[in-house]
Amino acid sequence: MTKAAFALLNARKNGGLVPPDALEAVTDLETAYRVQAEQLVLSGESVSGWKIGATSAAAKQVLGLDTAVFGPVADGTVHEDVSEVPLQPEQGNFIESEFTVRLAKDLPEREELYTFAEILDAIGSVQASFEVVTCRLQSGLAGAGNLVVADFGVNGGAVLGQPIAREHWENLSDITVGLSVDGEQAAEGSGAGTGWGHVFDAVAWLAAQQSKMARPLKAGDLVMTGTCTGVLPIKPGQILEADFGGLASVSATFT
């Protein structure tokens, strides 16, 4: 596993793509999550939060997965109140428009699934956001399956935008999200497109997964709940903006 972790970590830090032979040990989901964790140990990075991916049936089919998955959002890759966000141009770069939750309370480890009311009580804020999806796999995303998980859930960072007022939280799944590139409409979706019954169900799911791994979610953690507008390829020089039903927006120039 260390070979795979070193190769993926080097690509995250220094650019480039990881060939398939460096990842031969990643044969199942459990191993993929261990490779994720090993990268954090090797790098000494701390985690600002977690992204959730493969939340929709379409995404699972494309990636070759049968379950939603998660990956770390490392400190230093969260962009807030900035206008420019750097990309690794030789890697695969994509954008997703997402609701990102920040917890105000811990969600302690437990076997029982957290209820909607408990999750609602634990959330401190909800923000319009972009997930920067960065694929460091030479073989690409299609059918990558467990390798997507090993590759930090193909997370390249987060761009946090405006907050959404609490009065709208119970109806997040009904909010229309529009994504534009260089001023032209490029994609549209909604909170329902994430595949959860309610966007906050993503937080309950992640809390359960982290409980199984004995690393429960803590106050201050970010949870990126899944894309509302699909996965859109991007390149340096483009200006992107996502509008969340007129309630909040997020924008950035990618360099």
pLDDT of residue 233: 97
Question: With contact defined as beta carbons under 8 Å apart, do 55 and 96 qualify?
Answer: no
Task: Say yes or no to pLDDT of 157 above 80.
Answer: yes
Task: Collect contacts of 16-19 with beta carbons under 8 A, ≥24 apart.
Answer: 16/90, 16/91, 16/136, 17/90, 17/91, 17/136, 17/137, 17/138, 18/136, 18/137, 18/138, 18/151, 19/138
Place of tokens 């807030």: 80
Q: What is the pLDDT of residues 97-133, one digit of tens each?
A: 999 999 999 999 999 999 999 999 999 999 999 999 9
pLDDT of residue 114: 98
Q: What is the pLDDT of residues 22-64, one digit of tens each?
A: 999 999 999 999 999 999 999 999 999 999 999 988 899 999 9
Q: Tell me the C-alpha distance between 92 and 154, whole Å.
A: 9
Domain map (residue ranges) of the chain: 47-254
Percent of the chain scored above 70 by pLDDT? 100
pLDDT of residue 1: 63
pLDDT of residue 228: 97
pTM: 0.96
Closest to 229 in 3D by CA, of 141, 105, 133: 133
Q: What is the mean pLDDT of residues 220-238?
A: 97
Secondary-structure breakdown of the chain: helix, strand, coil percentages, each rounded to the nearest 5: 30, 35, 35
Task: Say yes or no to pLDDT of 85 above 90.
Answer: yes
Percent of the chain scored above 90 by pLDDT? 95
pLDDT of residue 180: 99
Task: Say yes or no to pLDDT of 78 above 70.
Answer: yes
pLDDT of residue 43: 95
Computed over every residue of the chain, the mean pLDDT equals 96
The CATH homologous superfamily to which domain 47-254 belongs is: Fumarylacetoacetase-like, C-terminal domain (3.90.850.10)
Which of 86-90, 172-176, 218-222, 239-243 is the least confident region?
86-90
pLDDT of residue 2: 87
